[in-house]
Amino acid sequence: MSQPFYVAPEQVMKDRADYARKGIARGKALVGVVAKEGVVLCAENPSATLRKVSEIYDRIAFGGVGKYNEFDQLRIAGVRHADLKGYSYSREDVDARSLANQYAQMLGQIFTHEMKPMEVELLVAEVGNDADEDTLFHILYDGTVMDEDRFSVLGGDAEAITERMEALFSPGLDTQAAVNAAVDALAGPDRELEATDLELAILERSSTHRRTFRRFDDAEVSALLGPGR
Amino acid sequence: MNLPLFDPLNDPGPDFASLVDRAKPTALPSTPLNPGDVPHGTTVVAVTTAEGVILAGDRRATAGNLISHRTMRKVFPADRWSGVAIAGAAGPAIEMVKLFQLQLEHYEKVEGNALSLEGKANQLSQMVRGNLPAAMQGMVVVPLFCGYDHRREQGRLFEYDVTGGRYEESHYAASGSGSLHAGTVIKLGYSTDMTREQGVDLCISALFQAADADSATGGPDLVRGIYPIIASITVDGYTEVEESEIAERFANMVDDLQSATAAPVGGRP
C-alpha cells in the first residue's frame, strides 16, 4: 500500500494562496470610494456586458475581480441571499455585514477544503444615511474580511493603486471628483483610461427610489471624466 | 441564513419562486382549507391614455357583509415601469403582489436586464394560475397589470381570469365586484388619446359610480380623508397621483353632479 507524500500544511496553504493570487493579479482592478453623494464603484472593464459591479439589494452593491464565472456565481448567490432574507423578514433587515460574513465563510471553506481555491476578491458596499455610515467589506480569496471606511482597491496591481488612491482621496469628495480619483488611481501615470474601458456605478445616498444602485452609461462616464479625455 | 448555492442541474435560475421553493419552502403561501369569510378587495380599473396608463382602485375590503378595512391598498408598483391592481381575496392577493414584485426585481438583478412587459404579464399569468386551487376554495385573485412598453413606446394593459387567462385590452379594463358599474362608466366616457387629467377624472368617476351601486366598493371617505389610490404609468415610470389632487378632482366631480341633479327652481314644467 502506497503512502501519500507528506506535505506540510504551511506549504499547502502557501501554494493555494499563490495560485489564487496569481489568478487575481491577471485581472484588472476595481475601486470602491466613499463619496459625498454615495458609494462610487469604478472598475476597469473593457466589456460592456460581462459586469464586475452589480446591484445586490436596495442599498447594497457587489464588486468582483478575478475569474468571472466564479465571482458571478457568488454575485448571484448574494442576490438570492438578500432577496430571500428580505422576503422572509423585512427589507430593512438585509445588511451588507451579514452578506460579507457569508461570503467569507464560503471562501474560507473552499480555500481550506477544496482542491482549488476561488480566484476572486469581492467588495460588498452599503450606502448609509451619511458618509460615516457607509461600509465597504473587502473579502479575499481565503475568506479574510477587511472593513474599510474610505476606499477599497481590489484586483491586480492593488498595492500601487492603493498608494495612488491614498494621495488622491479626501473625505467628502463629490461624485465627479471621486470618479476622477478612482480612474486616475486605476490608470496610473503612464496610461489614459477612456469611458469605454470603464464600468461605473453608484449607490446614491439621497435617491428617490428604493433601489439606490445606478449604473452610468458611456455618455455619462465621458461627461464625468470631463473634456480632457 | 446561509448563502444559497446550487449545483448547475438544480439551479433555480432567475426565478424567485423556485428559489424559495428550494431554499425555504415553508415561506411560500399554501392553500388554506375552507377559509370562510376572509377580507375581499373590490373594485379596480385601468384606462390607457395618450402618455401611458392610469390605474386606480378603491380602498374598501369586505368580509361577508362587514367592512373589514377602509384603507386597503389595491394598486401597487410592480417595478419602476409597471403597476398591478388586485381584486379578490385580500390575503392571497397581497402575497401574490409581494411575490410578483420580488420576482421582477430578482430576475432583473440575476440576469442583469429587466423582463420585457410581455414577459412580466406572462409571469403574473402563471402566478394567477398557481392560485387556482385556492380560488376553488373561494380565494379568487384577479389582477390587472399595466405598464409602459419601451419597445413599442406605449402604455399597455392586461386583465386576467381565475385560471390565469391573460387578455390584453387596448382601451380599458375593470375587475372586482364593482367592475360592471365602473366598466360601464369608463366605456361611456372613454376616448382614445385622453390626457392624464382626463384619465384620472374618468377613473374617479368610475369608482364613485361603482361605490354608488355596489355595497362592497368604497366611495371617497370625506370624514377620514380616504381617497382611492390612483397611479399613472408613463415613459417616466410609475408615479402615484397626490392625494390632494385626487381630493380636489373628487370635489369638482361632486359639484358637477350636484348642479346637474339639483331640482330646478319652481319645479319642472
pLDDT at residue B263 in the model: 61
Measured in degrees and rounded to the nearest 5, phi and psi for residue B77 equal -75, 135
Residue A192's CB: how many other CB atoms inside 10 A? 12
Per-residue pLDDT band for A82 (boundaries 50, 70, 90) equals: very high
Residue B148's CB: how many other CB atoms inside 10 A? 23
Spell out the residues 6+ positions from residue A141 whose beta carbon is closer than 8 angstroms to its own: A17, A20, A21, A24, A66, A107, A111, A117, A118, A119, A120, A121
Residues of B in contact with A83 (CB under 8 A): 16, 19, 102, 105-106, 109
DSSP for A113-175, written as a single string: HSSS---EEEEEEE--SSGGG-EEEEE-TTS-EEEESSEEEESTTHHHHHHHHHHH--TT--H
Which has the higher per-residue pLDDT, A4 or A81? A81
Query: In the beta sheet, which residues pair with residue B103?
Result: none
Q: Helical H runs in chain A?
A: 9-26, 68-88, 96-113, 158-168, 175-187, 218-225
Per-residue pLDDT band for A3 (boundaries 50, 70, 90) equals: confident
Q: Which of B26, B31, B42, B234 is catalytic?
A: B42
Domains of chain A: 23-224 (3.60.20.10)
Task: Say which CATH topology domain B37-258 has.
Answer: Glutamine Phosphoribosylpyrophosphate, subunit 1, domain 1 (3.60.20)
**pLDDT above 80: residue A135:** yes
pLDDT at residue A67 in the model: 93
Residues of A in contact with B79 (CB under 8 A): none
Instruction: Test A83 with B112 for CB contact under 8 angstroms.
Output: no
Instruction: Test B5 with A105 for CB contact under 8 angstroms.
Output: no
Q: Is A55 on the interface with B (CB under 8 A)?
A: yes
Q: Is A223 on the interface with B (CB under 8 A)?
A: no
- Listed as own residue / partner, the contacts of B104-109 with beta carbons closer than 8 Å and 24 or more positions apart are B104/B78, B104/B79, B105/A83, B105/A211, B105/B79, B106/A79, B106/A80, B106/A83, B106/B14, B106/B15, B106/B16, B106/B19, B107/B14, B107/B15, B107/B16, B108/B79, B109/A54, B109/A55, B109/A56, B109/A79, B109/A83
B 4-23 → A contacts, CB under 8 A: 4-5, 16, 19-20, 23
**pLDDT by residue (tens digit) across A48-73?**
889 999 999 999 999 999 999 999 99
Could you say which of A80, A86, A209 has the minimum Cβ distance to residue B4?
A80
pLDDT at residue B267 in the model: 54
**pLDDT by residue (tens digit) across B153-185?**
999 999 999 898 999 999 999 999 999 999 999
Instruction: Test A87 with B20 for CB contact under 8 angstroms.
Output: yes
pLDDT at residue B37 in the model: 75
d(CA B101, CA B97): 6
> ipTM of the predicted structure?
0.90
Domain spans of chain B? 37-258
Q: Which amino acid is at B23?
A: A
Nearest to B43 by CA among B64, B57, B24, B27: B57
Instruction: Say what percent of chain A tops pLDDT 70.
Output: 98
Average of per-residue pLDDT values in chain A: 92
Could you say which of A78, A84, A86 has the minimum Cβ distance to residue B19?
A84
d(CA B98, CA B102): 6
B261 in catalytic set = no
**pLDDT by residue (tens digit) across A205-226?**
998 889 999 999 999 999 999 8
pLDDT at residue A175 in the model: 94
Q: Is A32 on the interface with B (CB under 8 A)?
A: no
What DSSP state is assigned to residue B161?
-
Q: Which of B1, B16, B104, B107 to mutate to test the interface with A (most CBs of A within 10 A)?
A: B1
3-class secondary structure, B71: coil
pLDDT at residue A185 in the model: 94
pLDDT at residue B73 in the model: 94
3-class secondary structure, B46: strand
pLDDT at residue B31 in the model: 67
Residues of chain B falling short of pLDDT 50? none
Say if CB B210 and CB B183 are below 8 A apart: no
Cell digits of residue B191: 376616448
pLDDT at residue B141 in the model: 87
Instruction: Test B109 with A56 for CB contact under 8 angstroms.
Output: yes
d(CA B33, CA B138): 10
Pairs of CB atoms within 8 A across A/B: 58
**pLDDT above 60: residue A176:** yes
Nearest to B82 by CA among B244, B235, B263: B235
| Residue A161, Cβ density class (10 Å: 0-12 exposed, 13-18 middle, ≥19 buried) | buried
Instruction: Test A105 with B3 for CB contact under 8 angstroms.
Output: yes
